[in-house]
Amino acid sequence: MACDSTLPPARRFLWGAATSAYQIEGAAGEDGRGPSIWDTFCRIPGAIADGSSGDIACDHYHRSESDLDLIAELGLEAYRFSIAWPRVQPAGAGAINPRGLDFYERLVDGLLQRGVQPFVTLYHWDLPQALQDRGGWGARDTALRFADYAALVGRRLGDRVASIATHNEPWIVAELGHRTGVHAPGLRERRLAMQVMHHLLLGHGLAVQALRAVDARLPLGIVLNAAPVHPASGHAADVAQARLEDGLLVRWSLDALMHGRYPADVLEHLGDDAPAVRGGELDSVREPIDFLGINYYSRQLASADARRPGPTSRVVTDMGWEVFPQGLTELLLRLHRDYRLPPIYITECGAACRDQLDDGRVHDEARIDFIRQHIAAVERAVDAGVDVRGFFVWSLLDNFEWANGYRKRFGIVHVDYPTQRRVPKDSALWYREFIASRKQRRA
Ligand code: FCB
């Protein structure tokens, strides 16, 4: 399917589900895949809550045909997945691994054969270890290598995919990977984290330029995690803290992507920890994009003092994240007000629940409620004039939830890891009916 406009092919609202390579594929050492920073990180004792890794995960690499059938049976209109950079370019530079690219080509073709639109993400956190050994995202060169990798994927798959997102959640990569150290590569240094943040955004801009050179019509974008940041109390220090955290979480990326500058208040706060930015780099970051992906799970509460943690009577998911659907409407209205944005996709939204498999069923009412409420929140924003084009549930399958290992289940499809048996939960059955009814309404 060729895309013959600069916008995603359909203007109608798309219903989908999302996954990422390291979280589902497994086959970590197979068919020429190189090691990634997550392979390394998982081997550090204590790094992953259950001591596990993505070595096998959902074994999707070997089960992609039946997983594609599952996607079709659920009636999904779009499927968001990521490409493992070390599978297609094992050392992150130079030699291409044809078997890796073949896998993703089969996946894309399999989706198209089933009438499902492929939404590709190029970087969902699995940096080739060889690049980490040369400084990772702390090194400017990684941004250049990323643009090369983007172009090689674009040349092979660009004529058939509905969209290509460069990064998934750069803020998480910088903050959790390089400041708090709970994600790969497990580093803890704020100055480095901010330099990484800049190089991720630079890599995005260079990748967009490289992909445009491959095919000017490719629908390109980036996926950010975003949330309204609320002060935990009316205390002036909490209000100021909320403004700062909003600057780091939301304005840092969007001011750079949309206006080519970093927010002055955040730069001032960072002082010597502000990243080194070379002339012209922010012009690359500002390269126009065709869509913005937003991942939303909860609001963020900001407190300048741990003794003021904010409201206590909160409904939370199994991650301990507050259920706060109205925050998604608030966020979308705010982004629409403050920036001239391209069309938006909600590229992730979902809940971890303590699911029980009983007699071949998982009655995950809480997840259904969560998804239903968040869809309603998106629709309120659409009614108010925000151009949102699709909603992707996180996640299609239970999978490797990073530092939590396999203890947290986000899937609408249950995975029994020892047997790799997939069982659609009640939420999957509900979502299938919901999508069918929306299709009918459209017809
Ligand atoms: C997001 C990630 C995704 C998943 C969900 C729960 O931050 O993009 O891979 O872990 O959180």
pLDDT in tens, the chain (443 residues): 344 444 444 468 999 999 999 999 999 999 999 999 999 999 999 999 999 999 999 999 999 999 999 999 999 999 999 999 999 999 999 999 999 999 999 999 999 999 999 999 999 999 999 999 999 999 999 999 999 999 999 999 999 999 999 999 999 999 999 999 999 999 999 999 999 999 999 999 999 999 999 999 999 999 999 999 999 999 999 999 999 999 999 999 999 999 999 999 999 999 999 999 999 999 999 999 999 999 999 999 999 998 888 887 789 999 999 999 999 999 999 999 999 999 999 999 999 999 999 999 999 999 999 999 999 999 999 999 999 999 999 999 999 999 999 999 999 999 999 999 999 999 999 999 999 999 999 88
Read off the pTM. 0.97
Angle (CA) 168 171 172, round 5°: 75
Q: Could you tell me if 33 and 97 are in contact, meaning their C-beta atoms sit under 8 angstroms apart?
A: yes
Which of 317, 401, 404, 408 to probe ligand 1 with, by most ligand atoms within 8 A of CB? 401
Q: Could you tell me if 192 and 262 are in contact, meaning their C-beta atoms sit under 8 angstroms apart?
A: no
DSSP secondary structure string for all residues of 265-299: HHHHHHGGGSPP--TTHHHHHT---SEEEEE-S--
Pocket flag, ligand 1, residue 20 (CB < 6 Å): yes
Give the distance (Å) from ligand 1 centre to CA of residue 407.
14
Give the distance (Å) from ligand 1 centre to CA of residue 113.
28
Overall residue count recorded for the chain in this entry: 443
Per-residue DSSP letter, 189: -
Pocket flag, ligand 1, residue 394 (CB < 6 Å): yes
Catalytic residues: 169, 348
Interatomic CA distance for residues 247 and 253, integer angstroms: 9
Give the distance (Å) from ligand 1 centre to CA of residue 234.
31
Closest CA to 384 of 322, 348, 335: 335
- β partners of residue 80: 18, 119
Closest residue by Cα to atom 5, ligand 1, is 394
- Residue 325 token pair: 């659907």
Interatomic CA distance for residues 411 and 334, integer angstroms: 29
Interatomic CA distance for residues 114 and 68, integer angstroms: 8
Q: Could you tell me if 261 and 282 are in contact, meaning their C-beta atoms sit under 8 angstroms apart?
A: yes
Helical (H) or strand (E) element with 229: strand 229-231
